Structures are given as C-alpha cells and as structure tokens.
Structure 1
Amino acid sequence: MTATIRELDGAEALARVDEMADVLRDCVEGGASVGFMLPLAPGRPEAFWRKVAAGVAAGERHLFVAEDEAGRVCGTLSLVVDMPDNQPHRADVAKMLVHRRARRRGVAEALLRAVEAKAGALGRTTLVLDTVTGSDASRVYERLAWQKVGDIPDYALMPDGALCSTTYYVKRL
C-alpha cells in the first residue's frame, strides 16, 4: 500500500467525517485506547470528527490524513497548536489512528513526519504526545527519535474497560 499524506482544511475535514469515523471505529473495535469505550454509541465517532473539523477551521489544530490508493482515509494525526500564552513554542500531537488494513506499511511514520515538518514550519520546537505503554505506536515514536519521559500507571481505560498505563514522549525540533 502506498499512502498519500495530506493536510485538510476545516471544510475538507468536515466533508470527510464519515471516512475518519470509520478509521476511529476500526481502531477502537481493534482494542486501541484512544479515548473511546466499547460499544461505541451511534454517531459518537462522527461527532468527534465534526468537533475536530471545527478546531481545524478555527486554527486550533492541523489535521493530516493518510489516503490509500483508492483515495480513502486510512489514517489520521493532529497537531494541536492552541496552547496557553506561555507555551507558544509547543504543540501536542494527537489521535494517531491507522486503520488495521493499513498497518505495518509506513502510514504512521509518514503521518508523524508530516506533522513534525508542519510543527517546524510553524516555529513549534517542543512536541508532546502520549500513548498506551508498550503499544505498537510507542515503537514508531522511539524509532523516530521521540524521547520517553515517563509512564503513568492506570492512566486510562482500554475500550473493554481494563486499566492501562500511558507513556509520555517529547521531541525537540
């Protein structure tokens, strides 16, 4: 699979809510702890992505998607730039989601590289993210020189309700 990485504006994000909701649904149903619990309430993924699209339109975040050969969204990653006044140099990286059909094909790495490039272009020099401790995503971050700064035990729940630890990472650009 060859994925194309694109940044979406607010209108494009709103137009692709259903595709991004499909990716989110697939990740949660596959066991990813990304802020949602099973069973997913009808319309919950779509509502989440509509809120993200509004944040993109407001300039609070930048949204990147990976598109498969058919042009369908198979991955997402956001750069959240709406920071407090004393953190104009920082941004959060959020919602790395890759559909199970597109995993282990470089999609996550390509999304992360695009977000890092955007952050650099915006003058953001400190990036922060978190992920489930020991997850596949953590291996991607570490391979791309993200520094592990610590684990928080019992930080969140897996979609089935089991507790999980979270690892925080930082990258200085």
Structure 2
Amino acid sequence: MDQEAVDNIAVRRLAPDEASRYVEALADVLIDCVEGGASVSFMLPITRETAASFWRGVAQGVARNERVLLVAEDAEQRVVGTVQLITALPENQPHRADVAKMLVLRAARRRGIAQRLMAAVDEVAYVEGKTVLVLDTVTGGDAERLYQRAGWQRVGVVPDYALMPDGAFCATTFYYKHLPRV
C-alpha cells in the first residue's frame, strides 16, 4: 500500500442536508460488502432497492439527529467506506452510543481506511459527549483485530447470534470502549 493512497482518503461527517445525496454511493458500499460475505444485517441476494432503502432510513435518522454518518472518500470523492454513531438511545443512557455499519469497499481494504473511520467515530463521540461506545462484530472476522488495536475491550461472544449473507449461522462478539469525559 503506498502512502499517497492512504493520504488521499478523507474521512468526514455528513451534514443532515447532504446525507440523502449519498444514498446511492452508500448503497454501492453496502452491496459490495454483503456480496463479499459481510454479516451486516442483510442477506443474499441484496437488491439495490433494499440497500438504498436502508440508507434513506439512515439519512432520515441523521436529519432527526439520532445518528451520525461518517464517510471515507478517495481522491475522486468516491465513497470507499462508512461508519455510523447511533446516538438515539434510552434516556438513562445519554452518555452512550452504538457504533454501527463499519463498511469498507473490498477493493479499498488494507489501506488503513477502517482505522481512520474508527478514529473519526471516536472523535465525533467525544464531541457529542459520549463516554461509552458499544459495537458488535462477527466472531473471528478481520474487524476484531481492528477493534482490539483501537482500544476496544471484548465483552463476550453470543453463539448463533446472526446469519451470514448466505444463511449460515455466525457468532457475534460484543465490544465496548470508554472515552474521556468532556
């Protein structure tokens, strides 16, 4: 991986008024990841309408200030990755947020994009006053190493928690991370 390729990735938070304009580009990322075997709530075959409908809902959540949507873009401003911070939680959890749908195009992997997205989500969570973050991932997947390197603490594994896109059962590992108080 050359340094220029890494340096040409910009990670940024989408404003509520622009999130809906990114639906198609985000649908491309989701479809690519699911077709690559990622267990991220969707089954094969995933249709463009299914993917676009999901992202339209995310954009509505951004507009309602219920979630934060981050994207990683390459030098041509093509979306190559994304992650969300879900901030709309019960009233007894104002200090907490969930990290969701950390996705990177298969062709863009192994370039540090996921690491940059996770660092950006930490920064956004800190600014939003969140001190406890929670996420889950497929047990034994590449993402587990990423999260552990980024300081996430493993809580435990739930066997047969979800399905892979092909219908096979998979275990899910839960993680948490404490951030400093604002």
Task: With the length of structure 1 as denominator, give the TM-score of the two structures.
Answer: 0.98
**Deviations 1:28-60, CA, capped at 9 Å, x for gaps:** 000000000001134000000000000000000
Q: How does 1:89-168 map to 2 (within 5 A)?
A: 89-168=95-174
**Is the counterpart of residue 75 in structure 1 residue 81 in structure 2?**
yes
Structure 2 Cα separation of the partners of residues 114 and 81 of structure 1: 15
Identical residues among aligned pairs (%)? 59
Greater shift in the superposed pair: 126-135 or 5-14: 5-14
Equivalent-residue separation in structure 1 for 2:84 and 2:47 (angstroms): 23
Q: Is the 8 A contact 2:31 2:48 kept in 1?
A: no
Cα distance in 1 for partners of 2:149, 2:18 equals: 31
Confirm whether residue 43 of structure 1 aligns to residue 49 of structure 2.
Answer: yes
Q: Please name the residue that 1:58 is paired with.
A: 64
User: Aligned AA for 1:143?
Assistant: R
Q: Secondary structure at the match of 2:173?
A: strand
Structure 2: how far apart are the matches of 1:142 and 1:68? 26
1:121-155: CA deviation from partner (whole Å, max 9, x where unpaired):
11100000000001111110000110000000000
Q: Distance in 2 between matches of 1:29 and 1:41?
A: 10
Runs of at least 5 residues in structure 1 that lack an aligned partner in the other structure: none
SS in 1 for 2:84: strand
**Contact 2:11–2:73 (Cα < 8 Å) also in 1:** yes
Report the Cα distance in structure 2 between the residues aligned to 1:147 and 1:165, rounded to whole angstroms: 17
Structure 1 runs of 4+ aligned residues shifted over 4 Å read: none
CA distance in 2, matches of 1:105, 1:41: 28
User: Which residue pairs with 2:38 in the alignment?
Assistant: 32
Paired with 1:34 and 1:19, the residues of 2 have a C-alpha distance of 17
Deviation at residue 66 of structure 1 after TM alignment: 0.2
| Letter aligned with residue 16 of structure 1 | Y
Cα shift at 1:158: 0.3
Give the RMSD, CA atoms, in angstroms: 0.7
Could you list the runs of 5+ residues in structure 2 that have no partner in the other structure?
none
Say whether the 8 Å CA contact 2:27–2:48 is kept in structure 1: no
> For 1:65-89, what per-residue CA distance to the aligned partner results, in whole angstroms no more than 9, with x for missing partners?
0001110100010000001010000
Write the letter of the residue equivalent to 1:20: L
- Correspondence for 1:171 among 159, 173, 177: 177
Q: CA deviation at 1:13?
A: 1.2
1:84 aligns with 2:90: yes
